[in-house]
Amino acid sequence: MMTAKIRWTNEEKEKVLDKATEYYKLRALSPYDAIKQAQLMVLTDRNRHRAFNSYSSCYDLTNEVKKRAAYVKPLAKEPEPEPEPEVTVELAQESSIDELINTIARRIALIVKDNVKLVVKELEHEFRLTKHDPTYNGDNFHKPRIVVIGLLNSQTHMIESEYGHKHDFRFVDASKSVNEKSVINADAYLIMKNFVNHSIYGIYQQFSNHVLIDGGMSALRAWLNTKGAEL
């Protein structure tokens, strides 16, 4: 018994062709595969699916997919722009604009002044300018001296760069010999627990203001941001 040939309605055909064209253009499917995939997606009734056993069985449909994919819709002509109406600026408005401009200018001047002051401070730190020189140190505040024991050279540069504007640091290399006579006066002695030996710890633990930093750089930064800010 032969199966009756299925003839799509115009609506079904358009749905399949539209979806097949989309697959052909966007998913890089061949027209033949695009049509087979499209009918599976848009025709929910499987009894309306056609059996495409070969490319020639849908030759007319594949040609139509190619034509639609190659068609470029002409651009609509843009309407002529309407002439802008003339704007009459009242004297009161001009006065308000002048005041706004003056306010913005004053604000920019303050920002520039603050930025220049910050740059000068950074240069002071970079070139080790005299701390009490009023030309470069407008704040004139005391920097607490902090001795840090047990950091590597690269780590000392990082801490100096981040916190040198607040504290006067002295760094002690844990690999070098240290004795009580070489200890300098400081507001705090920070001992990196995981990077110093017991003999060095024994020298600094006699000071009441020694702090044992149990951790690495994160723990050190946490102390400087909290307790260090209170010095």
User: Is 83 part of any domain?
Assistant: no
Interval 158-177: pLDDT, tens: 999 999 999 999 999 877 76
Helices and strands of the chain, counted as H and E runs: 8, 4
For residue 119, the model assigns a pLDDT of: 59
β partners of residue 187: none
Helix (H, G, I), strand (E, B), or coil: what is residue 149? strand
**Domain ends where: 141, 160, 178?**
141
User: Is 80 part of any domain?
Assistant: no
For residue 135, the model assigns a pLDDT of: 38
User: Is 1 part of any domain?
Assistant: no
Q: Is the pLDDT of residue 108 over 70?
A: yes
13 pLDDT band (50/70/90 cuts)? very high
**149 and 226 fall within a common domain:** yes
pTM for the model: 0.40
**150 and 208 fall within a common domain:** yes
**Count of structural domains within the chain:** 3
Average pLDDT over residues 98-107: 83
* Highest-pLDDT range among 70-79, 136-145, 209-218: 209-218
Average pLDDT over residues 207-222: 92
Q: Is the pLDDT of residue 75 over 80?
A: no
For residue 125, the model assigns a pLDDT of: 55
Interval 112-154: pLDDT, tens: 777 766 655 665 555 554 444 443 444 556 899 999 998 989 8
Average pLDDT over residues 172-201: 84
The identity of residue 34, as a single letter, is: A
**Domain ends where: 83, 109, 141?**
141
- The set of residues, in sequence order, having a beta carbon less than 8 Å from that of 168 and lying 6+ positions away, is 143, 144, 145, 146
Q: Are 124 and 137 in contact (CB under 8 A)?
A: yes
**169 and 183 fall within a common domain:** yes
The identity of residue 60, as a single letter, is: D
Q: Are 189 and 210 in contact (CB under 8 A)?
A: yes
| Separation between Cα atoms, residue 170 and residue 153, nearest integer Å | 12
Q: What are phi and psi of 125, to 5 degrees?
A: -65, -40
Q: Which domain holds residue 38?
A: 10-70
Task: Mean pLDDT check: name the lowest of 22-36, 68-82, 118-132.
Answer: 118-132
Is pLDDT larger for residue 40 or for residue 182? 40
Sheet hosting strand 145-149, strand order edge to edge: 168-172, 145-149, 188-192, 210-213
Q: How distant is the alpha carbon of residue 78 from its chain centre?
A: 40
In this prediction, what percent of the chain has a pLDDT beyond 90? 34
Query: Which is nearest to 229 in space by CA: 164, 166, 153?
Result: 166
User: Is 5 part of any domain?
Assistant: no
**214 and 199 fall within a common domain:** yes
For residue 132, the model assigns a pLDDT of: 45
